[in-house]
Amino acid sequence: MLRFLTAGESHGKCLTAILEGLPSGIILSEEDIDRELQRRQQGYGRGGRMQIEKDCVEITSGLRHGRTIGSPLCLIIHNRDFENWKEIMSTRATDTTDAAAVSKPRPGHADLPGGIKYRHTDLRNILERASARETAMKVAVGAVAKKLLAGFDIQLNSYVAAIGDASMESHPDLTEAALNRIEASPVRCPDEAAEKRMMAVIDAAKAAGDSLGGIFRIIIRKVPVGIGTHVHWDRRLDANLSRALMGIQAIKGVEFGMGFHAARELGSRVHDEIFYRNGFYHGTNNAGGIEGGISNGEDIVISCAMKPIPTLYSPLRSVDLSTKAPYAAGIERSDICAVPAAAVVGEAMAAWETANALMEKFGGDNINETLCNYRHYLAYVQEV
Ligand SMILES: Cc1cc2nc3c(=O)[nH]c(=O)nc-3n(C[C@H](O)[C@H](O)[C@H](O)COP(=O)(O)O)c2cc1C
């Protein structure tokens, strides 16, 4: 079983992650991870922090001479502007009044419930950790999972299907050209006309001091039939993918295939009929590649809904935690829309969960052992 934990505050010294359960022998470099970190930092509608971030990772254990060695992998991403936050984020006890203390909870954030729960009067103790800055480390962790998936020839991609009410009409084939277009698009959208509409709604929201959310889609191709299981709720592939994706800040819904729409349709229009020609296949893929918690050999198709960014340049009303006086929530800097970046984070989390499910099925302490088990299984599937 694969596990990871992250630590770190938004303006703290660094983000850290420890990844456990990776087989030895996976080829990995800091550059592999940095490439993914750069992808998260793109996107039309991002705020000021992207200019100072330019994230890069340091691997401090679990890797030797370019290959994992089976011990825990430790990743560190240093915060470039920590110098400016050294005093505010100091780990030492201080008796001076903190000028950066926050007593005003922002609507849509963890500030108020977190402050009450942890008995903090300074809400910075909540917002620093609740911040989506942590998604940088999620992307780094996902980059490692992608290196594991590469051995299985599994392809994992994402694109933005909607920002606010600007959406794509149809879903594209992920050809090489479409994938290149997605990577080059400021909103990670394969459709040029939809891209223009998305950028226009972001411009309009910005001008109005407002923010936007949207929908991104993740497609995982070449996952063999039989990953995940129906036997327990916490080993279902769809359940685990959902949990990983819902664990991303601001993600409020996850759908597989036809998703919520299936609830309004007749069964005859929903369920994918089964055919056989040199192997089993389905006539459609409304299930999104998973039946009974098990991959069925079709593409795994997941849509994720992201709520609008909660920090608005046109402030929302709130109440001061200590004085109980009403106020309008002011901001330092914030994204207007971060759906393209969230799609990259979604890819990372989906990669991690897919890798976890593969390791559960194929096991192995060295990647060659894992891949050997995998090839035997593929040979069996071909004969069914
Ligand atoms: C990639 C990414 C970037 C984000 N950037 C911001 C931001 O700049 N400002 C903000 O208020 N919220 C931002 N968020 C969303 C908040 O972190 C999130 O809404 C908040 O922590 C409350 O958590 P919840 O929405 O999961 O309930 C971002 C989320 C993601 C995934």
pLDDT tens-digit map of 324-333: 999 987 666 7
Q: Higher-confidence residue: 273 or 94?
A: 273
Of 42-46, 135-139, 208-212, 234-238, which range is least confident?
A: 42-46
Does residue 96 register a pLDDT over 80? no
Closest approach atom of ligand 1 to CA 131:
17
**Residues contacting 289, CB < 8 A, separation 6+:** 220, 223, 256, 257, 295, 296, 297, 298, 299, 300, 301
Does residue 50 register a pLDDT over 70? no
In one-letter notation, the amino acid at residue 119 is: R
Confidence (pLDDT) at 47: 77
Q: Is 305 in the pocket of ligand 1 (CB under 6 A)?
A: no
pLDDT digits (tens, 9 = 90+) for 179-205: 999 999 999 999 999 999 999 999 999
- Spacing, Cα 91 to ligand 1 middle (Å): 25
Of 1-10, 50-59, 272-281, which range is least confident?
A: 50-59
Which domains does the chain possess?
3-383 (3.60.150.10)
Does residue 234 register a pLDDT over 90? yes
Q: Is 344 in the pocket of ligand 1 (CB under 6 A)?
A: no
Mean pLDDT, the chain, integer: 95
Closest approach atom of ligand 1 to CA 251:
26
- Spacing, Cα 50 to ligand 1 middle (Å): 14
Q: Is 296 in the pocket of ligand 1 (CB under 6 A)?
A: no
b/e map 200-238, b = 16+ CB within 10 Å = ebbeebbeeebbbbbbbbbbbeebbbbbbbeeeeeebbb
Q: Higher-confidence residue: 18 or 97?
A: 18
| pLDDT > 90: percent of the chain | 89
Confidence (pLDDT) at 332: 63
Q: Is 342 in the pocket of ligand 1 (CB under 6 A)?
A: yes
Q: What is the mean pLDDT of residues 43-56?
A: 76
Q: What is the mean pLDDT of residues 291-312?
A: 97
